[in-house]
Amino acid sequence: MNGYGYGYQKKKGGKMKKLLLILLLPFVLLILYYTTYKLFLIPPPEVEGIDAFRLLPAKKTVTLQGKNLKSITVLITQDLKSRELLRDEPQTVESTYTIEIKPKALGLRDGPAVVTIAVKSGILKKAEYKVDAMVDTVPPKLRVVDSPSTVYQGMGTLALLRADGADSVFVSTGDGAPFKAYRLPGGPDNTYVVFFPIPVDTKTKAVFRAVAEDKAGNRTARTLPLKIKKKAFRRSSIRISDDFIRRVIYPMFNDADPPAPAKAFLVVNEQWRQRDVRRLAAIGRDSAPRMLWKGRFLQLKNSKVMAAYGDRRVYLYRGRPISRSVHLGYDLASVSNASVGAANSGVVKFAGDLGIYGNAVIIDHGLGLMSLYGHLSEILVEEGQEVKKGELIARTGSSGLAGGDHLHFGILVQGVEVSPLYWWDKRWIRANVGIIESYGRGNAVKGRR
Final residue of a structural domain among 135, 162, 197: 135
DSSP assignment of 312-339, as one string?
Answer: EEEEEETTEEEEEEE--SEEEE-STT-E
**Tally of domains in the chain:** 3
* Same domain assignment for residues 194 and 207: yes
pLDDT digits (tens, 9 = 90+) for 287-312: 999 999 999 999 999 999 999 999 99
CA distance 169 to 191: 10
pLDDT digits (tens, 9 = 90+) for 15-39: 776 776 677 667 766 765 555 555 5
* Same domain assignment for residues 195 and 239: no
What is the reported pLDDT for 124?
75
CA distance 370 to 257: 36
Strand partners, 288: none
What is the reported pLDDT for 420?
97
Could you list the pLDDT tens digit for every one of the 449 residues in the chain?
455 555 555 556 667 767 766 776 677 667 655 555 555 567 889 999 999 999 999 999 999 999 999 999 999 999 999 999 999 999 898 999 999 999 999 999 999 999 999 999 877 788 999 999 999 999 999 999 999 999 999 999 999 999 999 999 999 998 878 999 999 887 788 999 999 999 999 999 999 999 999 999 999 999 999 999 999 999 999 999 999 999 999 999 987 788 899 999 999 999 999 999 999 999 999 999 999 999 999 999 999 999 999 999 999 999 999 999 999 999 999 999 999 999 999 999 999 999 999 999 999 999 999 999 999 999 999 999 999 999 999 999 999 999 899 999 999 999 999 999 999 999 999 998 887 877 755 554 444 54
* Same domain assignment for residues 250 and 388: yes
* Same domain assignment for residues 294 and 197: no
What is the reported pLDDT for 36?
57
CA distance 144 to 150: 15
Which CATH number do you get for residue 195?
Answer: 2.60.40.1930
What is the reported pLDDT for 122?
75
Range of the domain at 211: 141-230+436-440
What is the reported pLDDT for 324?
95
What is the reported pLDDT for 448?
52
- At 379, the amino acid letter reads I
* Same domain assignment for residues 276 and 355: yes
* pTM score of the predicted model: 0.83
Element of type H or E holding 438: helix 434-440
Question: What is residue 231's DSSP assignment?
Answer: -
Where are the extended beta strands (E) located within 367-436?
A: 369-379, 386-387, 392-396, 407-413, 416-418
3-state secondary structure of 357: helix
Which CATH number do you get for residue 254?
Answer: 2.70.70.10
CA distance 375 to 250: 16
* Same domain assignment for residues 204 and 93: no
* Same domain assignment for residues 265 and 163: no
Closest of 363, 356, 367 to residue 379, by C-alpha: 363
CA distance 375 to 269: 15
What is the reported pLDDT for 176?
78
pLDDT digits (tens, 9 = 90+) for 379-423: 999 999 999 999 999 999 999 999 899 999 999 999 999 999 999
What is the reported pLDDT for 10?
56
Residues 323/266, Cβ–Cβ less than 8 Å: yes
Which CATH number do you get for residue 116?
Answer: 2.70.50.50
Alpha helices in 338-410, H assignment, sequence order:
none
* Same domain assignment for residues 122 and 187: no
* Same domain assignment for residues 146 and 281: no
3-state secondary structure of 232: coil
* Same domain assignment for residues 280 and 192: no
Could you tell me if residue 15 is inside a domain?
Answer: no
